[in-house]
Structure 1
Amino acid sequence: MTRDLYARHRAVLPDWLALYYEDPLEITHGEGRHVWDAAGNKYLDFFGGILTTMTAHALPEVTKAVAEQAGRIVHSSTLYLNRPMVELAERVAQLSGIPDARVFFTTSGTEANDTALLLATAYRRSNAILAMRNSYHGRSFSAVGITGNRGWSPTSLSPLQTLYVHGGVRTRGPYAHLDDRDFTDACVADLEDLLGHTRAPAALIAEPVQGVGGFTSPPDGLYAAFREVLHERGILWISDEVQTGWGRTGDHFWGWQAHGRNGPPDIVTFAKGIGNGMSIGGVVARAEIMNCLDANSISTFGGTQVTMAAGLANLNHLLEHDLQGNARRVGGLLIERLRAVAAQVPHVREVRGRGLMIGVELTRPGTDEADPEAASTVLEEARAGGLLVGKGGGHSTSVLRVAPPMSLTVAEAEEGAAILERALRSI
């Protein structure tokens, strides 16, 4: 049955639509932190549909909210008042930390970043954008134009002039040998030098932790130091929180808060986890920025009643059960467990991350040369052992991405770590 579905997939969908595994997996249902495939095999899910199943599979509160709202009305567009959309916008605006915040809902993180770029370029009257090397911001024409990860940017054509900045990857590149303070100073000096050779950009867009790039991040405070330079020139700061938002990093509710000594970003984008699988993205910005557009606009599918009902139920569950605190506690245990394993596996260059956002980088032993074949081997062996993880990385897909639902228990963390240990030892 699965092989037949794979053949049909290949016949009707694009070749560039990536699938995991030599024998692709059809997931039929899930519950809690587990999913099942079409053959009835059970897996512990450590990837959550790319960090999207944030709280749990089949979370009863979300399922109930979706069913009840669907029984009333599913959709009306933004041309009509929408109570669930207003209620979720109020919650997000309050949680964002942005003063006088306005919220616009989209259907994805790509669309959210697209909207942020539109706002920033219109507000600043500039089409130049600063982005981080090794970054990823989505699949649209403008988003791939600011993506600093070659593997996910299929064209050099873009409506934007993109200038790439050092700092998103701590342990590679020309400043990797420096300590954190000197690393930050060097990146700031690079930014200042870059700004001296170009017209004033509209904004810097940055992921606090680079997701597709392999869960890399700069020292805490780097973007705060960047912001001092940017603020002097009126350049906006966009924090792409599509993967880092809602407490996943454990230490903070938003990833930007590790760099927040000068206050919140001008614009925050979000998506993925807030909908727990429903299609929700969005942008939060100060009113003067959000309201700068001088043309009409609507969103047909952004903020539909059924997705907003799901988002509200999911956010309430996350806050009431302190899943941020759980991500910090259980994620800390999981990172230390994986680091202990890594010390005995020559292929593991580094285990990094925070909270339930963990990267395991694989290289050829004794070198810094990426080893995507080893990563593929571990991915397959982990699946065979009953564990699903992801892949990423800017130097080819040689980083295992571990990002379970934030309700992960200590016992499940230990179980997943044991399976991953066996998979790592298999190489």
Structure 2
Amino acid sequence: MAEHATLLQRHRAVMPGWLALNYAAPIELVGGKGARVTDAEGRSYLDFFAGILTSMIGYDVPEVREAVERQIATGVVHTSTAYLLRGQIELAEKIARLSGIPDAKVFFCNSGTEANETALLLATYARKTDQVLAMRQSYHGRSFGAIGVTSNRTWKNNSYSPLNTHFLHGADRHLPQFRGLSDAEYIKVCVADLEHVLATATGGDVAALIAEPIQGVGGFTAAPDGLFAAYKEVLEPYGALLISDEVQTGWGRTGDSFFGIQAHGVTPDAMTFAKGLGNGFAVGGVVARGDLMDALHAVGLSTFGGNPVSMAAANATLDYVLDHDLQANAARQGKTIIGGLREAAPRLPIVADVRGRGLMFAVELADPGTGAPSPELAVALMEATRERGLLAGKGGLYGNVVRMAPPLTLTDAEAAEGLGILIDSLENVNEAATT
């Protein structure tokens, strides 16, 4: 039996059946350098999903590896937040400055799920209410509270929640009532809907709106620029807060701005982050107004959050992003790939949409005859790209979107190579679907 088949058999014997695995024949990744990885059977791939947007600056980056090795060499890999942590303080200073949030303070944890739970705690405590607004098609994590603000049935195991959540329009322009609207018209009707929700479904004492500037699991769907500024203008008289979930959109990935929310011309009250900041090491956190962060009356800590090794990796990663202006590189390479995909799309009936910003882009697949969302074609495209040496991810409300987010260090040559593989794969899947 082949190496991967043997490992898959062992996996199924001891791991939960609901753990999602990519590909009909799942693979194990055992090596990596830059934007490329190697599997256990010796096959090399250009990685356009980067561990779900987590290996943000690529694999085996000397600056990150050496920072981690220096910390491990001290013998101190863990102390907990019961002690002063120099790396935490240094990283918090950088994040507070970059966030643009007035008098910002930072709390570190281990994941985006934990970060969103913390932000929701801050908001509901400050406002003394369990009422929260979130976006349709959203995903904010797998814990009890995070599922409560997630609006994607594929990722919800039950309807129980500690929160009283109401979901808003803003990233669902595919619906018939919104098709054909300009950005300005769409924003206008979404704001009217928000005002109606506040008047009919809430008691007025809303804690916060939590939103992803670009929806990750939602298939990289996004609200038009300015919507969240318009939402905040409506919410401010109520005292409701704005939480931007930057777990997938932070650190320059979108190319246009360092944090995704900045494209809307608004400063949130809090931002959550995780994934790419540690370049593979577990880091999550919240940056929020100091008065919000300090308001909690109970004692708190995080045993593993912001541990010395993760902080060494995160500081080195963030410094690398800033020193090499990877935001500009994301904008440049994204323009190449997204532009190339959009140019090819009109001759490929299976392509319903090409969307994205910077190095965060997606292809939505539809049945060429009916126009209905086609998760089967998305699976076929993923298999086709893997066969040709490129790894991608999947998402979307209907599971019909192939989404990609390569390392921010992607080179011109790698962008061209990846685009070529994607177009060749799309042509192959399109031909099979239309003949």
Equivalent in 249, 257, 260 of residue 244 of structure 1: 249
For 1:303, which of 306, 327, 335 is the aligned residue? Answer: 306
Deviates more, 1:193-202 or 1:235-244: 193-202
Q: Where does residue 158 of structure 1 map in the other structure?
A: 161
1:18-417 equivalent positions in 2, closer than 5 A: 18-72=20-74, 73-172=76-175, 174-197=177-200, 198-199=202-203, 200-260=205-265, 263-394=266-397, 396-417=398-419
Moved more, 163-172 or 36-45: 163-172
1:7 aligns with 2:9: yes
Paired amino acid for 1:304: N
In the aligned structure 2, how far is the partner of 1:424 from the partner of 1:190? Answer: 38
**Residue 163 of structure 1: SS of its match in structure 2?**
strand
Residue pair 1:97, 1:264 contacting (<8 A) in 2 also: yes
The offset of 1:44, in angstroms, is 0.2
Verify the 8 A CA contact 2:345 2:354 in the aligned structure 1.
yes
Q: 1:299 & 1:378 partners in 2: Cα distance?
A: 41
- What letter matches 1:65 in structure 2? A
Superposed CA deviations along residues 232-263 of structure 1, whole A, max 9, x for unmatched, are 11000000000000000000000000112xx4
Q: Unpaired runs of 5+ in structure 1? A: none
Matches of 2:371 and 2:249, distance apart in 1: 27
Cα deviation, 1:117-175, whole Å, max 9, x if unaligned, reads: 11100010010110000000001111011101111111101111110000123333522
Residues 239-296 of structure 1: CA deviation (Å, up to 9, x unaligned): 0000000000000000000112xx4100100001110000000001111101111101
Q: What is the alpha-carbon distance in structure 2 between the residues aligned to residue 232 and residue 332 of structure 1?
A: 39
List per-residue Cα deviations over 1:169-198 (Å, max 9, x = no partner): 333352232111110000000000000121
Give the stretch that moved more between structures: 130-139 or 149-158. 149-158
1:338-375, CA deviations, whole angstroms, 9 ceiling, x for partnerless residues?
11222211000010011000010000115441101111
Q: Post-superposition, which runs of at least 4 consecutive aligned residues in structure 1 deviate over 3 A?
A: 170-173
- Contact 2:170–2:187 (CA under 8 A) maintained in structure 1: yes
Say whether the 8 Å CA contact 1:252–1:258 is kept in structure 2: yes
Counterpart residue type for residue 330 of structure 1: Q
Contact 2:385 2:391 in 1 (8 A): yes
Deviation at 1:5, TM superposition (A): 1.0
SS in 2 for 1:238: strand
State, as a whole percentage, how many aligned pairs show the same letter: 56
- State the AA in 2 paired with 1:216: T
Q: Which amino acid aligns with 2:212?
A: E
Contact residue 170 and residue 217 of structure 1 kept, 8 A = no
Distance in 1, matches of 2:341 and 2:316, equals: 33
8 Å Cα contact 1:145-1:155 kept in structure 2: no
Secondary structure of 1:360 counterpart: strand
Q: Could you list the per-position Cα deviations for residues 270-328 of structure 1 after superposition, in whole angstroms to 9, with x for gaps in the alignment?
A: 00111000000000111110111110111000010000010000001110100000000
TM-score of the superposition, structure 1-length normalised? 0.98
Residues 170, 216 of structure 1: 8 Å contact kept: no
Separation in 2, partners of 1:69, 1:173: 55
Counterpart of 1:219, as a letter, is P
* Other structure's SS at 1:196 match: helix
RMSD, aligned CA: 0.9
- 2:433 aligned residue: none
- Where 2:16 maps in the other structure, the secondary structure is coil
TM-score under structure 2 normalisation? 0.96
Is the partner of 1:168 in helix, strand or coil?
coil
311-320 or 168-177, larger mean C-alpha shift: 168-177
Aligned counterparts of 2:370 and 2:292: Cα–Cα separation in 1: 47
CA–CA distance in structure 2, aligned partners of residues 63 and 99 of structure 1 = 33
Aligned residue-pair number: 424
How far apart, in 2, do the equivalents of 1:253 and 1:329 lie? 14
8 Å CA contact 2:140, 2:245 repeated in 1: yes
3-state SS, counterpart of residue 343 of structure 1: helix
**Deviations, residues 374-396 of structure 1 (Å, cap 9, x unaligned):** 110110110000000111001x2
SS at match of 1:158: coil
